[in-house]
Structure 1
Amino acid sequence: MRLTNVTHLRLPFGRLWGYDVSTSALGRRLPVSFDQRLHVGAGDRPGSWMALSFRLPAPTSRDSIADAWLAVIARHGTLRTAFAPGAEGDPELHAIEIGSGHWVEHEVGSGQAVNDALREVLDAACAPFRRPSHRLCVLETAAGLTVVIAADHAHVDMWSMLVIARDLLSALDEVRSGATPMLTTAPAFVEHTQALLDRDAAPDHVRQRWEDIIADSGGVMPRFPLPLGPAELHRERVEVRDVFDVDDAAAFAAQARGDGVSTLARAVVSMTAVTLELADAPLRAVFPVHSRFQDDWHDSVGWFITNSVLESEVAEPHAAAAAVREAVQLGAWPLADVLAPWGGMPVAPGMFAISWLDLRRLPVRIDSVGLDAHYVSAATDTDGVMLWFILDESGLHLRCRYPDTSEARANVGGWLDLLVARLQADARSSAPGRGYQTAPVGLPQHF
């Protein structure tokens, strides 16, 4: 399943509907996670959400979709919470009650792209302090219905979006059979937040390693090692690169197995080599890791992602594997306590983050091909570099967001060019005999 951007999402022209649920006043106070506090503390703003789109395989009434959506909300506690500004500047999280509502048509203006109309709806409805900060939309055309589910990032991660889509489709099946959808309640994300708050503090060696990496990064979280232009927010430039088809992905995985490491570690080898060559510096990046440490959380919705740091100095498989293991271990401790000496996460312009998502290994699946499903990111301004790798049954693609400056175009683009070429060369060297007289490697899609 591809990760795309709302400005590039291919949507058919039709009538755009949004479902407005009814909500109660703010209820009891709930614990706030470290990452939620950082994200929501930045205030209401456009582009703070993530979404998933898919096409329904059978004719379905909007009322049926609404009934299914309400069942999903009833299943997942985080969808029944809302943030409010706190008295001392820290955001507060409260329980709310959500009930049935009504459909509202959002007019697509004359000359306006459907994508832009959808973006306006989601920017307004899914801001951090909205109540609720999620939205179900339907695009109605003669050819069928496209569903878009979006939520502020404080309540979801990419794994969660799959859970929401799966549960909505399951509830729809019940509605079509004439039953009232009754989904069992999943463990709520606030329980996970409280469990982390109750954990022991990180040991001294973990604190020291965080301190070393931050010191090596100039006292802040790791930054992209090449110039990006003026250190301020710029309009984003987004590139999507098709790295491997299914055969190349299999060959690359076989090479990793032969080295005795994971596919991710083998990719880290390539990123390390490229960074050393172009920047004469080790690969050092923020590295999100999931915190669903127990199977109990696999069917829950929430922000089960914590940030770690990845530092790889040697372009060798076992060294890269050790760097990945260390990053997972560094991210396994409550960060509020670890980062307290810096007053929280010491973010600076140019921050570099790398995310790896192997959809084949997730315990949650939907028929992404049959549903034409896509992850959808918001459009936003940025001063850093964010790189996502998405690996599924069709192969590997990457998506990269960076400031749209001449320096970043040259330096990030050049880094991506060399990385994709190296990854493809590595895969093809392990599968001799295939015919590779194809298009030039690494051609980007810009949007």
Structure 2
Amino acid sequence: MILSDMSTWKAAPGRLVRWRPTDAARSAAEAAPVDPGPPSILQADHLRAWAHAVRTGTPHRAWTGIATTVDGPLDRAAMTRALARLVRAHGGFRTWFDLSGREPVRHLVPADAIEFEVVEEPALDGAWDTALQHHLEARFDAECTPGSWPGFALGVVENQDRFGLFWGCDHAFTDGLSQLLLCSELADLYAAELAEPGGPELVPGALPTPEERGDFRSYVALERRDAEEHGPDSPEVREWVRIVRENGGRLPRFPLPLGLADGERAPVVIRELTFLDGDEVERFERVCREAGAGVTAGVFAAVAETERLLAGKENYFGVTVLSTRHRGPFARSQGWFCTFAPIAFEVGGAADFGELTARAQDALRRAKDLAAAPVNVVLETLVTSGVCTPEQLGSPQLLSYLDLRRLPGAGRPADERGVHFTSRGRTANASLWINRDADHLYLLAQTPDTAAAAEPVRQYHEQLRQVFRQAVSPVPVA
């Protein structure tokens, strides 16, 4: 699996088919009863933005997806059954929100009402690769929304001996790790539906057990309980506020000028860069271990050193994305299992990269403790305490690190051929998504697509690459 731009995925020309709910299933969804309880904290923010976009007629792309290639001719009936099993197993995929009132109201489609049918699409016009990308974008834009069911879209490019499989979903019902897990789960469900009695069994552990796929609504209840138990005087919230206050009363921003005014956003362009490959990645891990740290700390150390070199920042302050799946039986659940935490440590005066990495490791340990504070409580406290204005809270610079080798499906065909992508919305920053797989350590960055931002972003990414390479090289890298 690679995280990349959607255009990275290629499928040979073929017949396009899609899955849609049957008329009976759609009617059941429209009549689905209210499911009590609020959305999750991140869902609530997403739904407010979506409702505002609908009211003002503003474009709001917020879907994410995967695409892969599966060997063998497509068995449409087997894929139809596999899709139904997937949706019945994960309550989030049976959810839609009524956004007509002041607060979003959740509806849950009964599992026994879930049915899908196959529809053949018209042939695409024009050059195949371009036309396919336009088709995917059009489908995801139209179907991957939170205000009606389903909030996802599934399709296939059908050929004689293999098929391309693509899926998109509104962010309200998923996150990056969920999508990465879904790629293999859907392929494995399809394989299970193909298997004949007495035939070959699936790879052990291929499908999540009930103990691994707890319902997202249970997670929401835990999260909301935490929000009620935390307030401005909670130690984690106070520490968040202290860190932000000591860093100028602002959440992190890209350290170089992007040519955007405060609050201004620009269309996103995806930029990618390989930092290390082959045995360089193993050497980098050894450098981190020798410092008593993990690769995640090494990644933060490299980013901190880059900001020192380019912007003179002697203290690093960043915000990272952390998974919250450990809070219950959610290891392979589908939903939005994320929170944010501050990473802050001194950069200046470090004797070498190892010492800087050890400092980053200590900061990561602290960050995991601070992640217990629900982000909505933190943001409210930052405003009410006068540390930040509401305008200063929008679109912070984010840094995420994922080791894709740890995915349950890693190394198997659907995962090896898979691409995980996001929609191209608008941004005020140039967030970093750094990932490791079996072959390389690489960057996926969502940056402003403007002439003013292009050179600072290029300079930053290249300097970061040099820092990574210097860390594993006994001699300076030219």
TM-score by length of 2: 0.83
**Structure 2, unaligned runs of 5 or more:** 351-355
Q: Which has the higher strand share?
A: 1
Q: Compute the displacement of 1:218 (Å).
A: 4.6
Q: Compute the displacement of 1:49 (Å).
A: 1.1
Structure 2 vs 1, CA of residues 324 and 54 (structure 1 numbering), >3 Å: closer, same or farther? same
Cα distance in 2, alignment partners of residues 372 and 192 from structure 1: 31
Residues 2-401 of structure 1 mapped to structure 2, 5 A cutoff? 2-21=2-21, 22-23=25-26, 24-25=29-30, 26-29=32-35, 30-43=37-50, 45-88=59-102, 90-97=103-110, 98-107=113-122, 108-111=124-127, 112-178=130-196, 185=210, 186-199=213-226, 200-201=229-230, 204-231=234-261, 232-281=264-313, 282-294=315-327, 296-314=329-347, 316-341=356-381, 342=383, 348=393, 351-363=396-408, 365=410, 367-368=412-413, 371-401=416-446
Q: Compute the displacement of 1:115 (Å).
A: 1.1
Q: Compute the displacement of 1:47 (Å).
A: 2.7
Cα distance in 2, alignment partners of residues 4 and 207 from structure 1: 35
Structure 2 vs 1, CA of residues 347 and 55 (structure 1 numbering), >3 Å: closer, same or farther? farther
Deviations 1:278-309 (A, max 9, x none): 11223322211000124621121110111222
Secondary structure at 1:102 match in 2: strand
Q: Compute the displacement of 1:247 (Å).
A: 0.6
Residues 419-430 of structure 1 mapped to structure 2, 5 A cutoff? 419-429=464-474
Secondary structure at 1:323 match in 2: helix
Cα distance in 2, alignment partners of residues 122 and 393 from structure 1: 30
Q: Compute the displacement of 1:216 (Å).
A: 4.3
Deviations 1:352-385 (A, max 9, x none): 1111111223456461577511112212222221
- In the other structure, the counterpart of 1:412 is 457
Deviations 1:73-115 (A, max 9, x none): 1111111111221521x32322123522322334423345211
Q: Would you say the 8 A contact 1:128–1:154 is kept in 2?
A: yes
Secondary structure at 2:4 match in 1: strand
Cα distance in 2, alignment partners of residues 334 and 124 from structure 1: 32
Cα distance in 2, alignment partners of residues 99 and 359 from structure 1: 32
Cα distance in 2, alignment partners of residues 407 and 312 from structure 1: 30
Q: Compute the displacement of 1:262 (Å).
A: 0.7
Q: Would you say the 8 A contact 2:299–2:401 is kept in 1?
A: no
Structure 2 vs 1, CA of residues 339 and 145 (structure 1 numbering), >3 Å: closer, same or farther? same
**Structure 1, unaligned runs of 5 or more:** 442-447
Deviations 1:402-432 (A, max 9, x none): 1122332121221111001110121233xx9
Deviations 1:40-99 (A, max 9, x none): 2111545311111111122222221111010011111111111221521x3232212352
Cα distance in 2, alignment partners of residues 13 and 220 from structure 1: 49
Secondary structure at 1:224 match in 2: coil
Q: Would you say the 8 A contact 1:8–1:115 is kept in 2?
A: no
Cα distance in 2, alignment partners of residues 71 and 278 from structure 1: 51
Q: Which has the higher helix share?
A: 2
Amino acid paired to 2:43: Q
Amino acid paired to 2:93: L
Alignment RMSD: 2.7
Amino acid paired to 2:417: D
Amino acid paired to 1:309: P
Identity %: 24
- Number of residues of Structure 1 aligned to a counterpart in Structure 2: 431
Structure 2 vs 1, CA of residues 370 and 83 (structure 1 numbering), >3 Å: closer, same or farther? closer
Amino acid paired to 1:249: V
